[in-house]
Structure 1
Amino acid sequence: MSKTQPVKSVSRALSILNLLTSNSYTLSLAEISERVDLPKPTTHRMLQSLRNEGFVKQSPEDGSYKVGVKVFEMAHQYAENLDVRKEAQAELRKLNRQFDEIIHLAVLSGSEVVYIDKYDSKRALRIYSSVGKRVPAHCTALGKAILAYLTEYEINRILSEESLTKHTDSTITDRDELDEELESIRDQGFATDQGEHEEEISCIASPIFNHEHDIEAAVSVTIPSMRFNQDKVKEIAPVLKESAGVISRNIGYTENFSQSGGGKE
């Protein structure tokens, strides 16, 4: 046996798996053989080996083939092992270099968001934030970007009228008003915080989704309120959304990340 034969066998098996995973319908032996450009006997042997290991399922009715449950089990396990902080680092650095502003990555914890990564700006702006710090979800761009993509039940469980604490004159404390803003966030795919938590600080944030299409985290660009305006939003938001889309795909999100955000349809 040639020393290259095992590699060729793996390549052939992967070609078959790639074909089956890219099709939502079953394929016959003849169709698979033709599309992967292999003789029918070779294709049949490959399919039987893959079927025996659970990577391919064969229909008992017509003998056609489709991808097996083992592929989905492995894909799920791979996605479960992905670390959003690790997978986000390249995009966080890119945002930090491009805008020279403070970049935060955060996840939801109860009615608060927790910073899990931060890149500082070289500018004079300094805010008291560090990895592990908690801030309210209802009055921060990061928090609202996450809340917007939770179910109504989850939002109701997390928030109550009493929890909408006023931090500045800009803080939203009315639940109906907050619900309207969350709907707007879902439409545009990003959230803003114009001095709602700290008067001198404003943020733009975009959601990050995981392999199950659930909201996983959010990424933000923090700028001084005195420099915050609609021109800044128009400059930063599209780039931020694209970075959030890249991070989402890095942790297994498979749908096209649209300009109005991702999440479940």
Structure 2
Amino acid sequence: MGSDGHSDGTVGKALDVLDMVAGHGRPVRFSDLLDRSPYPKATLYRFLQTLTNQGMLAYDADLGTYALGVRLVRLAHAAWAQSSLAPIARPFISDLATLTGETVHLAQMDQGQVLYVDKRNAARPVEMFSQAGKVGPAYCTGVGKAMLAFMSEAEVDSAIARQSFHRFGHQTLDTPEKLRAELAAIRVRGHAFDREEHEPGIICCAAPILARNGRVLGALSVTSTTARSSLAALEAEADRIKACAAQIASAAESWRFPEQG
């Protein structure tokens, strides 16, 4: 989050406030925002009023809470259609989910973190963290590591600096050195794994979606549970996953997919 000296000025501060509201995952009171805000009370209130007036936030006078506004929802839908791989990739990942019988995730990198942009459920869906629109850690997810492995050295350095390296389980890579070693192995074999590194019982095999020039567009994964599958079984789908990634990349380039931040 920014500070009062935010390098992007007023717009950057307003976006910080939007992030604060969104981060709560529910309507939030002014006092709760103030507790986490780097801005003085009057400054925070002014930003909330402006964002509400512009339809980016909605204020419930009865409950005294702020929530994301309808205008922001419209912008999010437009961004999904124009700057997300999801509309292009949907038929391909739907076919992959049908062929494998497992859940397929589609993700892109956002400021060093994984943004899930679509998800096709298996015939027998499994409850897990990853849902379209959610942001997850890059260092301990299959799609995150698949993207990191094929980014430039400068991009990897920047992304690693943003990782928390929180240890979710005994398999979690909890240092930059361990992650870098894993990324080197991923580059050799061309696909990544999640070995219950983020959630207990959740495993996956993932592949990057690469443009012809090697630029990382995103990643996709076939995900299952240790109760009904294994890493070996998921790796047996690696060629199929990579073929799907290549189809998405080809379709995206034809559409002149925009550069990712």
Structure 1 residue 178, shift from structure 2 partner: 1.1
Change (3 A) 1:216 1:161: closer
1:1-265 correspondence to structure 2 within 5 Å: 84-123=85-124, 125-160=126-161, 163-210=164-211, 212-252=213-253
Structure 1 residue 114, shift from structure 2 partner: 0.8
Compare 220-229 and 187-196 and name the one that shifted more.
220-229
Tell me the TM-score normalized by structure 2: 0.61
**2:217 and 2:93 mapped to 1: Cα distance?**
16
Q: What is the count of residue pairs matched by the alignment?
A: 173
The superposition leaves residues 20-70 of structure 1 with CA deviations (integer Å, 9 ceiling, x where unpaired) of xxxxxxxxxxxxxxxxxxxxxxxxxxxxxxxxxxxxxxxxxxxxxxxxxxx
Structure 1 residue 211, shift from structure 2 partner: 5.3
**2:177 and 2:125 mapped to 1: Cα distance?**
37
Change (3 A) 1:124 1:91: closer
Higher Cα Rg, which structure: 1
Structure 1 residue 161, shift from structure 2 partner: 8.8
Checking the alignment, whether the CA contact within 8 Å between 1:83 and 1:251 is kept in structure 2 is no
Q: Which amino acid aligns with 2:191?
A: F
**1:170 and 1:102 mapped to 2: Cα distance?**
22
**1:243 and 1:124 mapped to 2: Cα distance?**
21
Change (3 A) 1:111 1:223: same
**1:161 and 1:111 mapped to 2: Cα distance?**
6
Structure 1 residue 214, shift from structure 2 partner: 0.6
Q: Which amino acid aligns with 1:222?
A: T
**1:124 and 1:116 mapped to 2: Cα distance?**
18
Structure 1 residue 124, shift from structure 2 partner: 5.1
Checking the alignment, whether the CA contact within 8 Å between 1:208 and 1:218 is kept in structure 2 is yes
Partner of 1:74: none
The superposition leaves residues 59-87 of structure 1 with CA deviations (integer Å, 9 ceiling, x where unpaired) of xxxxxxxxxxxxxxxxxxxxxx7852222
**2:251 and 2:125 mapped to 1: Cα distance?**
33
Checking the alignment, whether the CA contact within 8 Å between 2:145 and 2:183 is kept in structure 1 is yes
Structure 1 residue 212, shift from structure 2 partner: 4.4
Q: Which amino acid aligns with 2:102?
A: E
**1:126 and 1:82 mapped to 2: Cα distance?**
27
Structure 1 residue 88, shift from structure 2 partner: 1.0
Task: Identify unmatched segments of 5+ residues in structure 1.
Answer: 1-80, 254-265
Structure 1 residue 227, shift from structure 2 partner: 3.6
The superposition leaves residues 196-238 of structure 1 with CA deviations (integer Å, 9 ceiling, x where unpaired) of 0001111111100235431010011110023443431342111
Checking the alignment, whether the CA contact within 8 Å between 1:82 and 1:251 is kept in structure 2 is no
The superposition leaves residues 101-122 of structure 1 with CA deviations (integer Å, 9 ceiling, x where unpaired) of 1111001112310110111122
**2:202 and 2:192 mapped to 1: Cα distance?**
14
Q: Percent identity?
A: 30
**What RMSD in Å do the two structures reach over aligned CA positions?**
2.1
Q: Which amino acid aligns with 1:99?
A: T
Compare 135-144 and 243-252 and name the one that shifted more.
243-252
**1:218 and 1:186 mapped to 2: Cα distance?**
14
Q: Which amino acid aligns with 2:216?
A: I
**2:165 and 2:102 mapped to 1: Cα distance?**
28
Tell me the TM-score normalized by structure 1: 0.60
Compare 149-158 and 195-204 and name the one that shifted more.
149-158
Q: Which amino acid aligns with 2:89?
A: A
Checking the alignment, whether the CA contact within 8 Å between 1:161 and 1:173 is kept in structure 2 is no
Compare 140-149 and 85-94 and name the one that shifted more.
85-94
Change (3 A) 1:113 1:169: same
Checking the alignment, whether the CA contact within 8 Å between 1:146 and 1:215 is kept in structure 2 is yes
Checking the alignment, whether the CA contact within 8 Å between 1:211 and 1:251 is kept in structure 2 is no
Runs (4+) off by over 4 Å: none
Task: Identify unmatched segments of 5+ residues in structure 2.
Answer: 1-81, 255-261
